Structure formats: structure tokens, C-alpha cells
Structure 1
Amino acid sequence: MFSLKEYTQEILATIILLLALVALRMITAKLIRRFAASSHLLEHRTNLVIKYTHVFMNILVTISLIVIWGVETKDIFITVSSIATVIGVAMFAQWSILSNITSGMILFFSFPFRIGDTIKIHDKDFPIEAEIEDINTFHVSLRTKEGEKIIFPNNLLLQKGISIMPAHYEEKEFFD
């Protein structure tokens, strides 16, 4: 028969772990928002990074809860390997999506260019010079001088050489 006294340690450890999760989620969200504010990053990009870190923390807490409640290591490995196999097969064709998400995270934290910058993408076959309109999770929206809108995947943006063009100022004659 089920008795609370038998599972006191597990219940206490679960409560502590869940409280730690809540505290860590709040702390990381504040730190990411502080970093974003100091770097003048967009709110929706900040929220995406916070969402990704929270998902990662939830996965770690779930694994910790499994260990706390005494699931056999052998059973954990069988379950994880089965899930990894299914995900691996399903995601093999979708590797570019994961690559774009990862690239979006790298662009968020390293942020070599900003919205409004004019960049030149050094591609032998299709060079592009355009202004950055938006940076999303999967792609960057660019606008050429001719008004053409180009959607460029984040992973390709990290693979190509990029020049950030200086701001163009109108040539004015000055008279004394």
C-alpha cells in the first residue's frame, strides 16, 4: 500500500527541484533581458531565446525527476535511445531547420549586425547587397536598393562572408 512516509525524500527532493526550476527560470529570463537591453536587441528575439532556455531547463528537470524517483538506469537508457532513434529518423530530413534555429541563437548572442544595417553577402554565384529588415528564428529578411525582398536562411548567413557596409550619406556641398 502507498505510504507518504516511504516517499518523503523523493517528495522533498521533487519540491526543492521544482522551486529551483522556477527560480532559475526567473533568473535566466532577467539575465537574458538585461543582455538584450544592453545590446539593444529586439523583444521578440529575446523572448525566443528565453523560450529555448526554458525548454532546455525543463528537459533537464524531467531527467532529474526520473532519477530522483528511482527509475532504473537501464530503463532510462532504453527509453532515451528509442526516443532519440525516432527523433533522429524524423529529423534527419529536417536538419536544416535545426541548423537555422541554432544559427539564429548564434546571431542573437554574437550579433555582428543589426536591423537597418546594409550588408554585402559574398557569394560567388549570387552576391547580395541589401539592408536588413528583420532577423527571425529561421531567416533574415533583406531589402535590396531596387526594392526586392530577399529571405536568407540563418545557417547560410553564418557560412558566407559578410561585409557590413558603411552608412551612405548624401554628398552635400558646403559653402563658406
Structure 2
Amino acid sequence: MSFFQEYTREIIATAILGILLIVFRIGATKMVRRYAASNHNLEHRTNLIIKYLHLFIHILVIIALIVIWGVQTKDIFIALSSITTVVGVAMFAQWSILSNITSGVILFFSFPFKIGDVIKIHDKDFPIEAEIEDIGAFHVFLNTHEGEKIIYPNTLLLQKGISIIKNHFDDKEFMD
């Protein structure tokens, strides 16, 4: 028997999965761009979230391909547990990187402040009042009234209380 006759179902399922991959990537990209446009988010932040979603979709497709091509469940669990162990040990040492990326995604979708807002971070030891210059994958870039540049981790931004201050840095003269 030829290869194509023996594995017809797997080949058809793989082709359908490839089409679904393209549809899901395009759909996810359009949904994130629509959300970003409605909330006036910057392009590079939108592209970062799209990359995260594409990575997640590709992981799901790889798992589906493994199932379609009949890899034994026992072998999948052994491989996944080995990979998870190695990644877990590596990520335990670098947990802050993963938590900052996760915090960056949360900041993209749910927080009320945006680039250009002046915020006050309520930290008992080191309170900060600054304008948000950029929100990256790992850090928020702040600029104080004195011109000091501060790079603040995303995870700390989620953990601290924050006030949004309107037009605080505008120099205004008051007359009696």
C-alpha cells in the first residue's frame, strides 16, 4: 500500500487543521486589532499581544497534530511531563519574566490608564508620580516631572494602588 492510501484520514485531518490554523490566526488578529482600535492602544503593543495569541494557537495545533497522527497517549504524557519539568525548573528561576509578560497582557486588555496619562503609584517606601511614556512586554516606562526616567515592572504596577492624575504636570500660575 502506498503512503497516501494508508494515511488518507490523517492527511485530510492535517489539511483541515491547516485551514483552521489560518482561520484562527486571521480571526484572532482581527479581534485584537478591533479591540485595540476601540481602546486607542498603540500598534507595537497590539502586535505583541497578537504574537502571544499566535504562539498559543500554534501550540494547540502541534498538540492536535500529535493526536491526529496517532502518537500513543502514554508517549505524549511522558514527553509533556519531561518538557514541563525542564521548563518548570527554568521558569522557576525566571518566574518574574513570565509574570511580567502575563501582567503586560492584562494591562493591555483591562487597565484604565494609557500612554500619556500621569499616574501616582502608592508605594509606602518609594511613591512615584510620573507620566506613562510606554508600556512594554516587561516594563512600563515612566517620566517624572523632574525629568527622571523610571522603568517599572508590570507585575508591580498590578500589585500597587494607582491613581490617575489629570493634567498634573501642566505648569499653571495661580493668582489671588
**Distance across 2 between alignment mates of 1:3 and 1:153:** 53
**Distance across 2 between alignment mates of 1:130 and 1:34:** 29
**Distance across 1 between alignment mates of 2:96 and 2:150:** 18
Any unmatched runs of 5+ in structure 2? Answer: none
**Distance across 2 between alignment mates of 1:115 and 1:7:** 53
The two structures, once aligned, show a CA RMSD in angstroms of 1.2
Letter in 2 for 1:27: G
Which residue matches 2:159? 159
Percent of matched pairs sharing the same residue: 71
User: Aligned-pair distance for 1:160?
Assistant: 0.2
Deviation track 1:104-147 (CA, whole Å, cap 9, x = no partner) reads 00000013201111100000100000111110000000011111
Answer yes or no: is 1:91 the counterpart of 2:86: no
Which residue matches 1:56? 56
Answer yes or no: is 1:75 the counterpart of 2:75: yes
| SS of corresponding position for 1:116 | coil
Which residue matches 1:105? 105
**Distance across 2 between alignment mates of 1:20 and 1:149:** 45
Letter in 2 for 1:6: E
- TM-score of the pair, normalised by structure 2: 0.95
- TM-score of the pair, normalised by structure 1: 0.95
Answer yes or no: is 1:7 the counterpart of 2:7: yes
Which residue matches 2:141? 141
User: Aligned-pair distance for 1:98?
Assistant: 0.2
Letter in 1 for 2:16: I
Question: How many pairs does the alignment contain?
Answer: 173
